Every structure is written in structure tokens, then in C-alpha cells.
Structure 1
Amino acid sequence: MDDDAVAGRHGRVRASERSGDAMSSRVAVPARTLKPRAQAAKPKSRALKRVKPKNLAIFTRQLSVMIDAGLPLVQCLELLQKEEPNPNMAAAIEAVRQEIEAGASLADALAKRSEAFDTLYTNMVAAGEAGGILDVILQRLSTFIEKEVKLKSQVRSAMIYPSAVLSIAAIVVVVILWKVVPTFTMLFEGMGASLPLPTRVVVALSNGLIYALPFLVGGFFGAGYMLRRYYATTKGRLKVDNTLLKMPLIGKILRKVAVARFCRTLGTLLSSGVPLLDGLDITSKTAGNAVIENAVKHVRARIERGETIAAPLRNTGVFPPMVSQMIGAGESTGALDTMLNKIAEFYEEEVDVAVAGLLTILEPVLIAFLGVVVGGIVISMYMPLFDLISRMSSH
């Protein structure tokens, strides 16, 4: 089989597909030493909007299929750009196509659109270009992105449900204290009824809320702003992420998500031909958690000094012992990428089970909490009426 046939089968990136004869030419980019690509500076002419991972996954899978079918790269991008419903994604595809027509490689063109294609994406594409297996790499990338989206949605569902219930409870309580309780208070004053202790507490809360509500709202948004500013600092991000990992219930889920993401990212990079040190460097930048990021950087530094990956990974204290043991086994057998992907699959299933279990526990607890709070307020406001009715019936 000649080189052109191989290039056509694997969808190898072509360096010159500008116009005319160049559109049909298939000059493969020669293999080169892979280096982690830094994201290019964003142009200042207009604000660039980020692309949703779901749109990126669809684009990546479609591009993989087209390249595997033997279509020239520029033609693939033209077709995908015309059919792309998301304007941000369409703009990114068009910009990449123009860069390639100007002579850039696909990886270099992607690196200039960092709002759509991150460091991991561009480095894996570079590996695919160098190895002549771009279609295979794009398939792995689309699978990776889809699994990332699923992981994030699982964590989001675990966070959104209790947050939504608590928010609704807070709104209901505020409305009752702000609007309903004052009406009952005026009624009781007109009747000259004596108020029991629970009712007096609720009335006091209602009176205080009327004056304190602006300060409470301002304090809530102010605290959120300050927390966001604090999280933007290196020390603050490390402190907050460490606290999240140690939280009851949700902390275990976040740790499993972090382990799954680490293993999936590094395993995908290694199986795509990215060297281990470069893979760890990229993985640390895409970890999504400062604690995991620091641990991966520590592991990378130890490997640079000649150690294996398993021992420093175990010494970080961040990853479960089973993970370091399985990685050590994969490293000793020369199947590290396969082992990492198996670990990722295991922990992704663990996250699925943990989220379902958490929601099963939280649902009755939150409903009971909402019932106790709202029901307690309502009962306390009706207690004076019950007292009056009992007095009237006794007379």
C-alpha cells in the first residue's frame, strides 16, 4: 500500500489545500517532535465567546467521519461551518479554515481559537497530524468530550437539586414573613389576642426582616462577589477546592470526578501518542481542581528526576491507593494508557452511582426540611386563633 493510500485512509492532515488543484492535493504533514502547544493570544478586535462542549463534541465526531471518508480538510471545514447551528462554533470553524488555507497546520490553526479549542484538544490534534491518524484521534477526542460533558452534568445535577429546593424554601419563607405574617399580626392586634412564644418569635422575625432584607440581599451578593475574587487568587482557589473535596457527601463525588477526569485525560493523551511528561503537563492544566493540579505537577517533577509514576502519585495523598496500584501495574506491563482508561471508566460509573445515591438521600431530607420550616411558621401563626376558638367554645 503506498503512502497516498495510507494518507487517504487515515485522514492525515494536508498542509496545502488552498484553492484549485491545492484543494484536491493531499500532502501529509511530516512527523515531528510533539511539544505542548501554548494557546495563542486572542485577537483584540472583537470579543470571543466560548463554545459549549456539546457543540465541540459534535463537530469533532463529524470531522473525524469526513476525514476518514477521504474528504480534503478544507472541504470538511466548509461543510461543517455551513451546517453548524451555533454561531460561535461556526465562527471558530471559519477562522480555522482560513488559517489552514493560509498554510497553517490544523493544530496551529486550532491553537489560535482558544475560546473553542483548549490545550488538550490542540495537542492531541498535533499528535494525530504527526502520526497520520487524525481521524482516530478525533474519534477519541469526541468520546473524551462527551464523557466530560456527562461527568459535569452528573455533578451539576447533584448540586442543582438541593440548591433549587433550598432557594425555593428561602423565597417561600421570605414571602410569608414579609407579606403574610404582618396581615396576621394586624388581625391579632385588632382582636386583642395574647400571642404564644412561637408566634412572638415569628412576628419578631417578620418585623426584623422588613428592615434587614436590603442588607441581607446586599450581603448575599457581596459575599458572592468577594468569594469569587478570593477564588481567582492562587491561594484562594487551592483553599476552596481543598474544602470542597473534604465536604461531606459532595466531597466524595467531587474526588471521584477528579480522579476520573485525570485518568481519562492522561489515558487519552498517551493513547494518542503524546509523551508522558507532556501529557501530565496538559492534564494538570485541565484538572479543574487546584489540589489535583498541584498533585499532578508534583508527580511530573518526580518523574523528571527519574522516578516511576505510581510512587509519587501514591505519595501525594490525593488519589486513592487503588488508583496508584493499578497505574503501577499498567506502567510495569507497558499498558499505562489502557489501565488509565479502565480506571476512568470505573470511577465514572462510581460517580453515576454516588450521584443517584445522594439524590435519593437528599430528596426526603429536603422535603422534610421544607415542610418543617414552612409548616412551623404557618402553625405558629394559627396558634392564637386556635386559642381564641377554644376560649369562645368554653364560654
Structure 2
Amino acid sequence: MMRRTGFFSRVETFVISPLNPPGLKDFFFYSLGLRTILSAGVPIIKAFELMGASTQNLRLRKASRNISQAIAAGINLQDAVRSQHDFTHCFIEIFLSGARTGNFVYGLDILVKHYNWMLEMRTRIMRLIWYPIANLILGALILMFRDLIVSSAGRSFIWSAAFPIIRQYLVYPAMVVFFAFLLSRILRDPRVRPYTDWALGKIPLIRKFYDRYAKAIFFRLFAAFMEAGRHLGESYSEALKGMNNYYLVKRMAVAAKYIEAGERLSFAFERTKVFDVQALGMINTGEISGAAPELFNKMAEYYQAEIYNILPGYVQGFYPALIIITALAFFTSPLFLYIGMFLTLAMLLWIV
């Protein structure tokens, strides 16, 4: 049941699955669409009304209509946008930063660039991780055909005898997908994330990737907030909120007080003890040049490049395990194949 308060009790509502919140692609196309409409000179109230009719994601469509109706009822834009919890913190703050300057398009340009960058990085990661999953699925199909051949050996093929085998190899993978999806949602729940992030931060192989992934997002957000006109300390705090890694956020929060006190960035970042010498050197060099947004974008690209360098090695290192899993499944039980599929798919869905 929805809580109804004030003006928004009159706004049309409908049930939307909590398991399908707007994703990066949704926000990319939403930002791009809103930018296109506003750049054509359409008033803000009409722009949100149009987005409420054209956006594919139901949550964003509903939020857009709510904002349009709220503005029409006399509620200011900032309160109307902040009341919509389906918008991410990043979207709200950068959009409103542009609104404060009277240039909506500028803020949306920053958002489009940010979401495009995120999508590109995530797509490349997914391509690499999908390969071992595809091999595991192929292994399951091979096992299914093996059992079908064995069951029909010495006699003609009978569908009634083959159907239980086919069903077995279809039902179990479907269960794997369901439970992998469920686990990934649980791991991403804000109540669980502090423990998940801490645990992943203790596993050497995963930590190396997860650490760089979070830092790449942090610096990209840092640059985006700076480009949106926020001052240094505020941009740092906002970037931490959007970092989505509770373990690193807690450690990096130490730098906030040094930045607010006017200390050099390189000094503040060094106090966190989460950046290597090379990264600190880049920060120091960029700080001297005085181009803050460009510096943070370069730092994001630096960590992005590290991810692209280390991830193929992880996938290649998985091949021996893939061979062992397939052999165990072939000679003993398909259960080993499903376990490997479950763990790999859960990791992929968790990243996505």
C-alpha cells in the first residue's frame, strides 16, 4: 500500500515491481530525451509531461507525470524532483545543479555523458563475463544430448522417454537463473551492502576488480558534479554518495574534512590509504595544473583502463576451473555445472 500525503495523494499511482528499478540504460535515454525536448524550447512542465507519456520505463514515466502535476499545482521544481525516489541521487543533484543556473540542458548534457560512460564500461565487463556463462550453458546442452543419445541407444527415439530428460535440463537452468537473480538483488540491498562490500574487499582477486570499479565510478561522479558547478568539498561528498561501495565510502570519508579545510587534494586522498602511489601522483600533477574536472575524468579513465586490463586475465584464469567443472558434470552429476552457472550468473547480475 502506498502512503498518501499532501498533493501526491491525488497523483495517479499503479503497482510496479520493486525488482525492476530504472537502470543505467533507462536513465541514459531518459536524460537524452529530456535534454532533446528542453533544447527545443519546451517549458519544463510540458517537458516532464511529454516524458511521462513517452518514457519506456514505467517508474520513470510515473515520476515524470508526478513532477509535471506537482509543478502545475504550485510546488517548486526542486521539491517536485526530490520527492520522486525512483530518480537516483546522481540524477537529481546534477539535474538540479543545471536548474539553479537556469540551464537545464547543461546539467542534462553532463548526465548523458556520465551515463554513456557508465554504460560503455559495464557493457565491456558484461561481454567478458558472459563468455564463461555461455560455455557453461553449452556444457548443459551437451549433457542433455548425451543423455538423450544414451536413453535412445538400441531403439527408436521416443518423445515420451526424452521429455523428462529435456525437462530436467530446462527446469534446473531456469531455477539457476531465478536464484542467481534473487541472490544478486539481495546482495545489492542497502541493508546487506555494508557486509557484502566488506566481504568482497577481503577477497584478493575480487577486491582488485571491485576496488577499481568503485573508484572509476567515484571519479566520474566527482568530475560530473564539478562540471555541474558544485564546489570541491560538496562534489566530493556527492560523489561518495553515488559510489555504491559502503566499505570504500567509509574509508574515503576521511578525506572530506581535509578538503573542506582547504588542504591539497593529494594530501587529502593520501590520508584515506586507499590510493596507490601512481594514482596519488596523477592527482598531484593534475592539481598543480588547476583543471579539476579534467583531472577527475582522467582518474576515472585510469581506473577504467585498469579494469579492462585485469578482467581478461580473470576470465582466462577461469578456463581451468571451467574444464574441471565440465568434466565433473560429464562424469558425475550436472549439479557441478549448475553451481558454476549459478555463481557466475549471480556475479554478472550483481554487477549489472
Q: Is the TM-score greater than 0.5?
A: yes
Counterpart in the other structure of 1:185: none
Equivalenced residues, count: 297
| Contact 1:144-1:265 within 8 A present in 2 as well | yes
Instruction: Report the Cα distance in structure 1 between the residues aligned to 2:204 and 2:131, rounded to whole angstroms.
Output: 17
* 1:365 matched residue in structure 2: 320
| CA–CA separation in structure 2 for the residues paired with 1:168 and 1:358 | 20
CA contact (8 A) 2:187 2:193 kept: no
Unaligned 5+ residue runs, structure 1?
Answer: 1-39, 182-216, 379-395
Q: Does 1:80 align with 2:35?
A: no
Amino acid at match of 1:253: F
Alpha-carbon deviations, 1:188-216, whole Å to 9, x = none? xxxxxxxxxxxxxxxxxxxxxxxxxxxxx
- Cα deviation for residue 125 of structure 1 reads 1.6
- Using structure 1 for the length normalisation, give the TM-score: 0.63
User: Which residue among 270, 292, 308 is the counterpart of 2:248?
Assistant: 292
Q: CA deviation at 1:104?
A: 3.4
Percentage identity across aligned positions?
21
Q: Secondary structure at the match of 1:70?
A: coil
Determine if the alignment matches structure 1 residue 133 to structure 2 residue 100.
Answer: no
1:155 Cα shift?
A: 4.1
Deviation sequence 1:250-273 (CA, Å, 0-9, x none): 432222211211110001101110
Asked whether the 8 Å contact 1:137–1:272 carries over to 2, the reply is yes
Report if the CA contact (8 A) 1:108-1:122 is conserved.
no
- The aligned counterpart of 2:35 is 64
Task: Mark the CA change 1:349 to 1:230 in structure 2 (over 3 Å): closer, same or farther.
Answer: closer
SS in 2 for 1:143: helix
1:242 maps to which of 187, 194, 201: 201
* Code of the aligned partner of 1:368: I
1:62 is displaced (CA, Å) by: 1.7
Please report the TM-score for the alignment, with normalisation by the length of structure 2: 0.69
Q: 1:247 and 1:172, CA in 2 relative to 1: closer, same or farther beyond 3 A?
A: farther
Query: Does residue 283 in structure 1 map to residue 239 in structure 2?
Result: yes
Code of the aligned partner of 1:133: N
Q: Aligned runs of 1:289-328 on 2, under 5 Å?
A: 289-328=245-284
What per-residue deviation string (whole Å, max 9, x for no partner) do you get for residues 30-65 of structure 1? xxxxxxxxxx99x79866642222122111112112
Counterpart contact for 1:260–1:345, Cα < 8 Å: yes
Note closer, same or farther for the CA distance 1:256–1:238 as it changes in structure 2 (3 Å cut).
Answer: closer
- Take 2:36 and 2:15, find their aligned partners in 1: how far apart are those partners? 31
Contact 2:139 2:326 in 1 (8 A): no
Aligned partners of 2:265 and 2:284 also within 8 Å: yes
Q: For residues 98 and 367 of structure 1, what CA distance do their matches in structure 2 show?
A: 54
CA deviations over 1:359-386 (Å, ceiling 9, x no partner):
3443x424422443245549xxxxxxxx
RMSD: 4.0
Q: Distance in 2 between matches of 1:312 and 1:241?
A: 25
Amino acid corresponding to residue 199 of structure 2 in structure 1: V
Segment drifting more, 139-148 vs 161-170: 161-170
* 8 Å Cα contact 2:110-2:227 kept in structure 1: no
The residue number in structure 1 matching 2:25 is 54
CA contact (8 A) 2:136 2:326 kept: no
Distance in structure 2 (CA, Å) of the matches to 1:317 and 1:324 = 10
